[in-house]
Copies of this chain bind each other. A is one copy, B any other.
Amino acid sequence: MNKLRNRELLHGGDYNPEQWLDRPDILEEDIRLMKKAGVNVVTLGVFSWSILEPKEGVYQFAWLEEIMDNLYQNGIHTILATPSGAKPVWLDEKYPEALRVDEWGRRRHHGVRHNHCITSPAFRKKIGEMDRLLAKRFKDHPGLLLWHISNELGGACYCPLCQKRFQEYLEQTYGTIEHLNKAWWTVFWSHQYQRFDQVEPPFANGEGSIMGLNLAWKRFTTWNMADYLRWEKDILKEITPGIPVTTNFMKLYPGLDYRVLAKELDVISWDSYPRYHNDYESLYDTCIENAFDHAVMRSMKKDRPFLLMESVPGAVNWHDYNKVKRPGMHKLAAIQAAALGSDSVQYFQWRKSRGSFEQYHGAVVDHLGREDTRIFQETAETGRVLAALKDVAGSVVKAKAAVVFDWDNRWAIQDMKGLSQKKKEYEKTCMNFYKLFLELGVETDVISREDSFSTYDVVAAPMLYLLGEDTARKLKEYVAGGGQLLCTYLTGYVDKDTLCYLGGFPGDGLKELFGLYSEEMDTFYPSDKNQVRFLDGSLGEVRDFAEILKLSGAEPVGVYIHDFYAGTAAVTRSQYEKGSAWYVGARLDEGTMKRLLRELCQEAGITIREIPGNGEYHVRENGEARFHFLLNYGEETIKFQDVRGMELLTGEVAEGELLVKPMEAAVVLEKKQLAKGEDR
Contact = CB atoms under 8 A, between A and B. Distances in A.
Interface string A604-648: 000000000000000000000000000000000000000000000
A539 interface: no
A208 B112 contact: yes
B359 A185 contact: yes
B185 A110 contact: no
B187 A50 contact: yes
A368 interface: yes
Interface string A50-64: 110011000000000
Interface in A63-96: 83, 85-90, 93
A502 B89 contact: no
Interface in A1-58: 16, 18-19, 47-51, 54-55
Contact of A355 (B192, B211, B374, B528): B211
Interface in A96-134: 102, 104, 106, 108-113
A172 interface: no
Contacts of A238: none
- The complex is assembled from copies of this chain, and their number is 3
A519 B362 CA distance: 12
Interface string A371-406: 001110000000000000000000000000000000
A194 B318 contact: no
Nearest to A416: B360
Nearest to A319: B420
A633 to B, nearest CB: 16
Contact of A526 (B16, B279, B360, B528): B279
A500 B102 CA distance: 33
Contact of A324 (B50, B108, B206, B520): B520
A413 to B, nearest CB: 12
Nearest to A544: B321
A355 B320 contact: no
Contacts of A499: 354-355
Nearest to A503: B369
Contact of A317 (B188, B353, B418): B418
B360 A417 contact: yes
Nearest to A519: B373
A605 B83 CA distance: 61
Given A320-B420, A357-B211, A523-B322, A113 B189 contact: yes
Interface of A: 16, 18-19, 47-51, 54-55, 83, 85-90, 93, 102, 104, 106, 108-113, 183-194, 198, 200, 202-203, 205-212, 277-279, 314-315, 317-318, 320-324, 326-327, 352-360, 366-370, 373-375, 416-423, 494, 497-505, 517, 519-528, 548, 564
12 contacts: A16-B188, A86-B189, A86-B190, A109-B207, A188-B359, A189-B356, A210-B356, A279-B526, A318-B417, A322-B420, A354-B500, A368-B503
